[in-house]
C-alpha cells in the first residue's frame, strides 16, 4: 500500500473514531437471534458486565473471492477452455466449461454457508467469533492477548481483513479457525476477521478498546498472502516498532476455543 492510500486509510480510521458509539452499545439479547446462536454459552455470549462495541459478518462476494479463491479457480478453468479450443478439442472445452461452472457454484455455496454461519462480536473486553459450517465453534479472544493487528483494505468501499497476533502459547489451530485465519501462519495461527465492512474504522476501534490493557502495534500495510520465507512475519510495509506485550498473572484465563 503506497503512502497516499495509507494516509486515506488512517484518515478514515480517525474519522470513525470521532463518531460516538450508540449509548449503551448493542442490545445483548438481540445477538442471540443474529446469525449462529450461542444459547447463553459464556464463550459465545457477551456478559452483563461487557459492552458490545460492534458486530458483523463477512461480505459474501469478497469472502468467496479471497478465502475460497472463486475468481482464481474460475480464471483457471476458463484458461483450460481456451487451451482446449485452440487445440481443436471442442469436447474437452465443453467438459472444462461444465466443470468450471460446477466448481464456481461449489465455492460460492461454501462461501455462502460460511458467511451465514459466522458472527463476529467485539466487546470492551474480548473478541468473540461464532464460526463453523458443519460444527459450530465459539472462539473467545481476550483483548489483552492481542499484541498486534494487521489490516488489509481490499475494496474501494472499505471492506477488508484484520488478522491478530496473540500472546502466549499456541492454543488455536488452523483447522479450528479456517477460513477465519491468516494464510501461511501455521506455527502460530492468527485469527482473522474476514471481509468485514469499514475495516480501517474497525481496526481503530479494536486498538482503542485494547488500549485499556496497554498499547498494541497496528500495521496498516497490506497483508501479503504469499508464503513467508522465514515462517512467521510481523506484516509487510513500514518498519515494525517494538510492541508492548501484555503481562498476564499466573492462572489468569487466556484464549478459549471449542466446538459448541
pLDDT in tens, 149-160: 888 888 888 899
Residues 129 and 187 in one domain: yes
Residue 107 CA to residue 114 CA, distance in Å, equals 10
pLDDT tens-place string over residues 59-99: 998 999 888 888 889 899 999 999 999 988 888 999 999 99
Residues 176 and 92 in one domain: no
Residues 143 and 180 in one domain: yes
Residue 2 has pLDDT above 80, yes or no: no
pLDDT tens-place string over residues 166-218: 887 666 788 888 899 888 888 888 899 999 998 998 988 998 888 888 777 65
Q: Grid coordinates in use for 153?
A: 483494505
Q: How buried is residue 85: exposed, middle or buried, by Cβ count under 10 Å (0-12/13-18/19+)? A: middle
A 10 A CB-CB count for 53 gives 21
Residues 50 and 78 in one domain: no
> Rounded to two decimals, what is the model's pTM?
0.70
Residues 102 and 146 in one domain: no
Residues 13 and 100 in one domain: no
Residues 71 and 131 in one domain: no
Residue 125 CA to residue 20 CA, distance in Å, equals 18
How many structural domains comprise the chain? 2
Residue 241 CA to residue 256 CA, distance in Å, equals 29
Q: How buried is residue 119: exposed, middle or buried, by Cβ count under 10 Å (0-12/13-18/19+)? A: buried
Domain that residue 253 falls in: 3-58+120-259
Amino acid at each position: 500500500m503506497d503512502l497516499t492510500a495509507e494516509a486515506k486509510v488512517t484518515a478514515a480510521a480517525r474519522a470513525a473514531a470521532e463518531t460516538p458509539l450508540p449509548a449503551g452499545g448493542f442490545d445483548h439479547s438481540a445477538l442471540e437471534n443474529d446469525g449462529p446462536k450461542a444459547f447463553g454459552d459464556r464463550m459465545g455470549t457477551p456478559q452483563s458486565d461487557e459492552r458490545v462495541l460492534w458486530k458483523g459478518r463477512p461480505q459474501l462476494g469478497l469472502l468467496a473471492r479471497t478465502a475460497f479463491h472463486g475468481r482464481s479457480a474460475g480464471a483457471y478453468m476458463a484458461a483450460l477452455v481456451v487451451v482446449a479450443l485452440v487445440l481443436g478439442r471442442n469436447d474437452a472445452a465443453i467438459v472444462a466449461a461444465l466443470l468450471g461452472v460446477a466448481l464456481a457454484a461449489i465455492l460460492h455455496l461454501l462461501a455462502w454457508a460460511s458467511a451465514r454461519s459466522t458472527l463476529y462480536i467485539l466487546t470492551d473486553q474480548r473478541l468473540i467469533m461464532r464460526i463453523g459450517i458443519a460444527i459450530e465453534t465459539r472462539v473467545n479472544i481476550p483483548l489483552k492477548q492481542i499484541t498486534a493487528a494487521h489490516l488489509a483494505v481490499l475494496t474501494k468501499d472499505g471492506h477488508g481483513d484484520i488478522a491478530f497476533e496473540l500472546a502466549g502459547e499456541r492454543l488455536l489451530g488452523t483447522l479450528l479457525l479456517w477460513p477465519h485465519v491468516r494464510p501461511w501462519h501455521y506455527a502460530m495461527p492468527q485469527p482473522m476477521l474476514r471481509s468485514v465492512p469499514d475495516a480501517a474504522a474497525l481496526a481503530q476501534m479494536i486498538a482503542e478498546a485494547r488500549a485499556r490493557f496497554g498499547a498494541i502495534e497496528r500495521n496498516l500495510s497490506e497483508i501479503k498472502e504469499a508464503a513467508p520465507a522465514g515462517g512467521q512475519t510481523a506484516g509487510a510495509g513500514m518498519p515494525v516498532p517494538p510492541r508492548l506485550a501484555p503481562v498476564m498473572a499466573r492462572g489468569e484465563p487466556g484464549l478459549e476455543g471449542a466446538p459448541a
